[in-house]
């Protein structure tokens, strides 16, 4: 975890900024991190990063458009050299807060104020909640942490006060799959799979929301969010059913691939991992060019890294028991056979 000095340093830099621009990872931890800082500062714009694995040079367009005096990167493991040097030339400081292992070059990292909780790896929503410590944002920090399968210290008290939202003495993974807070984390991940305009409307609503019920309630502001969530929830349930109908009980591996308009490999793999705790779960979303892959289970990181070794253009990484990878579609069968060999 970051030291108190580091948290204080971030706080001072943020408070000195009049027009911060937040780039946040396109998932619930990234979103909640942005919301916590935006609510504390009451200023700044937010952009969800959709490029993978790094924050790519295309986002300098947003910098030109919004003209910030500080850039804050949240929950993104990698930063492209082109983006960093473009911003450095404009003399705009970058605060980069993350919790993943990074492969970004030292020279690029040195162009930023880099803060990471790796290797203890507390989620970014936990880190940023510790900067301002505003009690009214704790629910957002909990949702962000649970989305990243991490149980924050402040969850226990919250569970005592909100037993209908969160169960006490439960691990983060079970909370994600069985409680209302977990359901909201999944809803927000689905809500982020929408157009830029709809995401912007959702975040604006969340600048002012006071409880998780504001998200569950259907009103003029949440209507589009609920509509999108219901669409994706239906697709999600279908994939789970399909995957489970294919499971070989004698195998330690669940290998499931699907396609469609929306990649939700992370959500699907989490649910399958919860339902089949003894198995390694590999879920692949097949695009014309490449496959988006999520791996869950024991040694997921080692298995992912070994399986993509030697595949040109393949990337992958993450946490010990939860990873993401991208493999060119031309090498997908090779990736699959690597996984089969590794799990036999």
Residues that bind Mn ion (CB under 5 A): 29, 75, 123, 148
| In the block, residue with structure tokens 């330690």 | 252
**Smallest distance, Mn ion to C-beta of residue 72, A:** 15
Residue nearest to Mn ion (CB): 29
74 vs 307, which CB is nearer to Mn ion?
74
26 vs 239, which CB is nearer to Mn ion?
26
186 vs 336, which CB is nearer to Mn ion?
186
**Smallest distance, Mn ion to C-beta of residue 279, A:** 24
Q: CA nearest 108: which of 122, 129, 94?
A: 94
C-alpha neighbours within 13 Å on the C-beta side of residue 307: 31
Long-range contacts from 96-102, C-beta under 8 angstroms, 24+ separation: 96/72, 97/10, 97/33, 97/72, 97/73, 97/124, 97/127, 97/128, 98/73, 98/74, 98/124, 99/75, 99/123, 99/124, 99/127, 100/317, 100/318, 100/319, 101/77, 101/317, 102/77, 102/78
155 vs 254, which CB is nearer to Mn ion?
155
**Smallest distance, Mn ion to C-beta of residue 29, A:** 3
**Smallest distance, Mn ion to C-beta of residue 150, A:** 9
**Smallest distance, Mn ion to C-beta of residue 100, A:** 7
154 vs 255, which CB is nearer to Mn ion?
154
Rounded to the nearest 10 degrees, what angle do helices 223-245 and 180-191 cross at? Answer: 100
**Smallest distance, Mn ion to C-beta of residue 75, A:** 4
29 vs 194, which CB is nearer to Mn ion?
29
């Amino acid at each position: 975890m970051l030291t108190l000095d580091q948290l204080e340093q971030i706080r001072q830099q943020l408070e000195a900024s009049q027009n911060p621009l937040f780039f946040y990872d396109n998932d619930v931890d990234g979103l909640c991190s942005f919301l916590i800082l935006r609510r504390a500062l009451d200023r700044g714009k937010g952009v969800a990063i959709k490029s993978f694995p790094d924050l790519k040079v295309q986002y300098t367009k947003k910098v030109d458009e919004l003209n910030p005096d500080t850039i804050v990167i949240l929950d993104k493991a990698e930063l492209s050299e082109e983006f960093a040097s473009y911003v450095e030339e404009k003399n705009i400081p970058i605060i980069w807060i993350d919790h993943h292992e990074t492969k970004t070059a030292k020279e690029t990292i040195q162009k930023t104020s880099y803060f990471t909780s790796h290797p203890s790896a507390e989620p970014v929503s936990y880190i940023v909640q510790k900067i301002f410590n505003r009690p009214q944002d704790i629910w957002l920090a909990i949702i962000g942490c649970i989305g990243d399968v991490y149980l924050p210290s402040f969850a226990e008290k919250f569970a005592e006060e909100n037993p209908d939202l969160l169960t006490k003495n439960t691990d983060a993974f079970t909370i994600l799959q069985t409680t209302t807070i977990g359901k909201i984390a999944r809803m927000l991940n689905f809500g982020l799979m929408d157009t830029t305009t709809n995401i912007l409307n959702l975040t604006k609503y969340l600048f002012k929301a006071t409880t998780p019920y504001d998200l569950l309630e259907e009103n003029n502001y949440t209507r589009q969010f609920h509509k999108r969530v219901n669409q994706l929830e239906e697709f999600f349930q279908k994939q789970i059913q399909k995957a489970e109908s294919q499971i070989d009980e004698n195998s330690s591996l669940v290998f499931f691939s699907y396609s469609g308009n929306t990649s939700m490999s992370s959500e699907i793999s989490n649910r399958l991992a919860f339902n089949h705790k003894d198995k390694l779960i590999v879920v692949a979303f097949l695009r014309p060019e490449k496959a988006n892959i999520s791996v869950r289970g024991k040694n997921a990181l080692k298995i992912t890294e070994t399986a993509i070794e030697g595949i040109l253009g393949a990337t992958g990484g993450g946490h010990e028991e939860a990873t993401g990878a991208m493999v060119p579609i031309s090498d997908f069968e090779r990736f699959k056979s690597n996984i089969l060999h590794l799990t036999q």
